Chains A and B, each alone.
Chain A
């Protein structure tokens, strides 16, 4: 397989051709290249199973987690690898996700899950949130004006779903100019999410709640 990989922080690329097994992923290929040819190649990775959210990159132009994309599904041509958009680039494919996390609301992460009803109320089953905060949705989002982004707004909506006492904080977060009003309803976020979180749906939930709140306030004023 041939790979064309962004190098440095300018517009340079480097090409590698390597032998890989039939089930190898894009990340496996990078590991092979770093181990045998280019020990300076920069990319982020940790869990290798789509859980830590660190190995996002543009694969043939589309933001994806490299650890769960098999090379076999990408065809014969050279595979183009570039860093995620909208993140702070370190070098090669490595980025800092600081822009994503600095936009996040001050919300909890672990939530009692949808399987909670199967356990006694005094000991609900726990399940980590589906969102792994990988920035794939943020990278895909076409909005160019100041925008909190799909991951942050989805987190705010999930937070109020699980903790009704935080409804006001979540809606205040969503009501800022860079909140739901900045979303252009292109839904690229939902199309690319590797965890099927559907951030676009969460943004619409917030939009409807804010609209209902506005209508309610209007009725009160009149």
Chain B
């Protein structure tokens, strides 16, 4: 939650931080409320019981049959513009960002990675070139295993696709969740004129070109409708599927949920005897800044730089700045 709050101050223009409501739909779930609130408070999350009448007053679209409600700090954010704001800041500080360049291999000198070979698709025809660097961080999400193999190291990451469904109509201003043990289809998130219903989870080997299964779409709509009845008849705006990068290897195709959403920075010098490379594994969008901080700390240690990370200290420039500059090839 600390990172979520931090993002509100770093990238306020990409956040809808309006709070959230966990709602219980039956007696079993209602009985969970006291333990849920206590667990939140123990974790530093200021949850509080919300009278059902108050919850319905705040969110008239909620199912009037809910039996208990808990308010939590929560929100949604534009998952594309938040990283763009970080990219814009990095470039303002001197970084060069090679969009449309796919890593196709690494060069070694002894037991150290010294360069990446990339296929530059920003030129026609695409051309392979070499980018040398003192250190490489692989922050490649669900593709971390594939990129690791290019460097000759094994990276334990499990691509875990989940389906999301966007329904037309902003049926809530707050994030709504089932007060229920964590499972599939337990959250409804408002964004602009939509609600987005998430999610399911399975695991796969290949994170590319994923399409949403029809049964997932029907399931998610029904779970959303239990919280917000209007979702039952709302028009489907879009449905899609994308892979989370879970740290570790799932033992079978149904065991993705047993893997943690935590992140780790794998130092390949320490683990594999290959210097000049680390891999960020796991994590999720809300902790992207913290993930970068841990990786940057490792790079600083490697390069002998004594400085603390300052990425929590500055409001970022507008995400628009990332695109405002015409790339050199287009001028």
Q: Determine the chain B residues whose CB is within 8 A of the CB of A125 once the complex forms.
A: 18, 173
**Residues A96 and B330 in contact, CB atoms below 8 Å apart:** yes
Cβ-defined partner of A52 (8 Å) among B80, B190, B327:
B80
**Alpha-carbon gap, A88 to B81, bound state (A):** 20
Q: Determine the chain B residues whose CB is within 8 A of the CB of A97 once the complex forms.
A: 323
**Residues B121 and A90 in contact, CB atoms below 8 Å apart:** yes
**Alpha-carbon gap, A100 to B173, bound state (A):** 30
**Alpha-carbon gap, A50 to B239, bound state (A):** 10
Q: Determine the chain B residues whose CB is within 8 A of the CB of A47 once the complex forms.
A: 79-80, 240
Q: For the complex, would chain A's binding face be called helix, strand, loop or mixed by DSSP majority?
A: loop
Instruction: Return the chain B residue nearest A8 by Cβ.
Output: B124
Whether A50 touches B209, Cβ cut-off 8 Å, given contacts A40-B121, A96-B326, A127-B192, is no
**Alpha-carbon gap, A9 to B323, bound state (A):** 20
Report A1-57 residues with CB < 8 Å from chain B CB: 8-9, 21, 23-25, 28, 31-32, 34-36, 40, 42, 46-52, 54
**Alpha-carbon gap, A53 to B255, bound state (A):** 34
Cβ-defined partner of B325 (8 Å) among A98, A104, A109, A130:
A98
A222 within 8 A of B: no
B320 within 8 A of A: yes
A sample of 27 cross-chain residue pairs with beta-carbon separation below 8 angstroms, ordered by A number, consists of A9-B124, A24-B211, A31-B210, A32-B211, A34-B209, A35-B209, A46-B79, A47-B80, A49-B194, A50-B238, A51-B192, A90-B121, A96-B323, A98-B327, A100-B323, A101-B320, A102-B324, A102-B325, A104-B324, A108-B13, A109-B81, A110-B12, A110-B14, A118-B173, A127-B192, A132-B192, A195-B193
B residues near A (Cβ < 8 Å) are: 12-18, 75, 78-81, 100, 121-122, 124-126, 164, 166, 170, 173, 190-194, 196, 208-211, 214, 217, 236-240, 242, 318-320, 323-327, 330
Please give 14 more A-B residue pairs, beta carbons under 8 A apart, in addition to A49-B166, A102-B325. Answer: A32-B211, A34-B208, A40-B121, A47-B80, A49-B164, A91-B126, A96-B326, A101-B320, A115-B173, A126-B17, A126-B75, A127-B192, A128-B14, A132-B192
